[in-house]
A = this chain, B = another copy of it.
């Protein structure tokens, strides 16, 4: 019989943020019970942690500030959101984006040239996903000889204020279909996105556990990179996720606290 996910060596941990540390909602949202303490216990055990998030509705500093307010022990250097990775790509490839973003996320692209755009970058624009804005992105893509659509994730939905709501993946699909193109996804489940966090941590994927609430993007994505992917029953989790047609989590736990219990007990 194969060893359980927590019985094999764990030398580093990747954590999803929304749905694992806290739930988004009015104001700063609400902490998931036991998660602040769970992060502290991983720190005390000397385990390196990186936070791998597809959060694109704020800046990294605003996100970290919110989490620190809730008592989480983390710094900006520990957090890997898609926007900085997208900025590197834009600069390297001389791309000038039309930005389809949440207003709070625009500051992430402050030093990017957006004149005369030759690509589209989309994040979770929420109420900015209007017909007018979708059309602007569509018309630009249709006007380009080689249309480039960069999407900061491909999530279907997330939990907000105790309800599931549409994530940017749905609107990415809309543009892919209308323009007959395929988006480049920066963020989970893109392997290069996970690998950047692993490299920064200096631990190989076989020694790392990823904990998340998205069975496809967190669990399937991390497993494709050679990590163990552990699904929490918090955040957007739905019981049907445990019978997903293509992704079988390495483990399923009630919450982050339980995942950390198991990791530390077997060290």
Interface residues, chain A, CB within 8 Å of chain B?
A: 125-132, 134-135, 138-139, 142, 156-157, 163-167, 169-171, 173-180
**Contacting pair B174 A178 (CB below 8 A):** no
Docked complex Cα distance between A157 and B178 (Å):
7
Known contacts A170-B178, A174-B170: A139-B163 contact under CB 8 Å: yes
**Contacting pair A166 B157 (CB below 8 A):** no
**Contacting pair A169 B164 (CB below 8 A):** no
> Which one, B132, B142, B178, contacts A169 given CB within 8 A?
B178
In the complex, besides A156-B180, A169-B177, A169-B178, 17 extra interface pairs with C-beta distance below 8 angstroms are A126-B131, A127-B131, A127-B132, A129-B134, A130-B131, A135-B165, A135-B166, A138-B157, A138-B164, A138-B170, A139-B163, A139-B164, A156-B178, A170-B175, A171-B174, A173-B173, A173-B177
Closest chain B residue, CB of each to CB of A127? B131
A179 to chain B, nearest CB (A): 8
**Contacting pair B174 A166 (CB below 8 A):** yes
Docked complex Cα distance between A132 and B126 (Å):
9
**Contacting pair A177 B156 (CB below 8 A):** yes
> Which one, B128, B164, B177, B178, contacts A142 given CB within 8 A?
B164
Docked complex Cα distance between A209 and B50 (Å):
62
A146 to chain B, nearest CB (A): 14
Docked complex Cα distance between A115 and B130 (Å):
27
Closest chain B residue, CB of each to CB of A132? B127
Q: Name, among A126, A163, A169, A173, the residue most crowded by chain B CB atoms within 10 Å (CB to CB).
A: A173
Docked complex Cα distance between A176 and B170 (Å):
8
Closest chain B residue, CB of each to CB of A176? B173
Closest chain B residue, CB of each to CB of A160? B135
Docked complex Cα distance between A169 and B179 (Å):
11
Docked complex Cα distance between A6 and B58 (Å):
60
Docked complex Cα distance between A118 and B179 (Å):
31
Q: Cβ of A174: which chain B residues have Cβ within 8 Å of it? A: 166, 170-171, 173-174
Docked complex Cα distance between A178 and B131 (Å):
18
A164 to chain B, nearest CB (A): 6
Q: Cβ of A170: which chain B residues have Cβ within 8 Å of it? A: 134, 138, 174-175, 177-178
